[in-house]
């Protein structure tokens, strides 16, 4: 990255930029998954399916106490949507119900089933924002 310093152009230290990226994509503690599962009312089998791993792998992550980076990202997406849904729909129970119910405008799919890709996450997030702003 280039920054302007006293009339000259210099190169910003890349380690700080890379450091930020590592923090974003770093594995997270398994307790984060436990917390989201509790708020969703999800079983271990359901959480494993939501983050795209087998139940046995999910159990190994619990024992290890840490999720892999991709799994962490999916749990963070779930957490983010649960928070947004709570804000938009009024309470966590309504958000939980919405995330786990078939939604006609999402082609009859459950929002939680679309979280296997960033594009799916964005569709669900945008749907909640449409509800919030009355543009659905």
pLDDT mean for each 10 residues of the chain (136 residues) = 48 45 73 96 95 97 96 94 97 96 96 93 97 88
Instruction: Give the pLDDT of residue 135.
Output: 86
For residues 36 and 115, what is the distance between their CA atoms, to the nearest angstrom? 14
C-beta neighbour count of 74 within 10 angstroms: 22
Domain assignment present for 112: yes
Contact 136, 128 (CB under 8 A): no
Q: Is residue 127 part of a domain?
A: yes
Q: How many domains, in total, are found in the chain?
A: 1
pLDDT of residue 14: 41
Angle at which helix 118-133 crosses helix 69-89, to 10 degrees, equals 10
Q: In whole angstroms, what is the distance from residue 64 CA to residue 69 CA?
A: 14
The model's pTM is 0.78
Q: What is the pLDDT of residues 68-77, one digit of tens each?
A: 999 999 999 9
Q: Is residue 49 part of a domain?
A: yes
* Domain extent at residue 89: 25-133
Any domain includes 99: yes
In this structure, how many other beta carbons lie within 10 angstroms of the beta carbon of residue 131? 16
């Amino acid at each position: 990255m280039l920054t302007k310093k006293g009339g000259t152009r210099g190169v910003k230290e890349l380690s700080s930029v890379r450091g930020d990226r590592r923090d974003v994509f770093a594995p997270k503690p398994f307790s984060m998954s436990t917390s989201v599962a509790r708020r969703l009312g999800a079983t271990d089998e359901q959480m494993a399916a939501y983050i795209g791993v087998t139940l046995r792998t999910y159990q190994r992550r619990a024992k290890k106490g840490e999720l892999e980076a991709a799994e962490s990202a999916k749990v963070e997406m779930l957490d983010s949507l649960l928070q947004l849904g709570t804000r938009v729909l009024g309470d966590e129970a309504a958000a939980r119900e919405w995330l786990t119910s078939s939604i006609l405008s999402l082609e009859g799919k459950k929002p939680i089933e679309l979280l296997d890709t960033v594009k799916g996450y964005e569709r669900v997030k945008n749907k909640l924002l449409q509800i919030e702003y009355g543009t659905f």
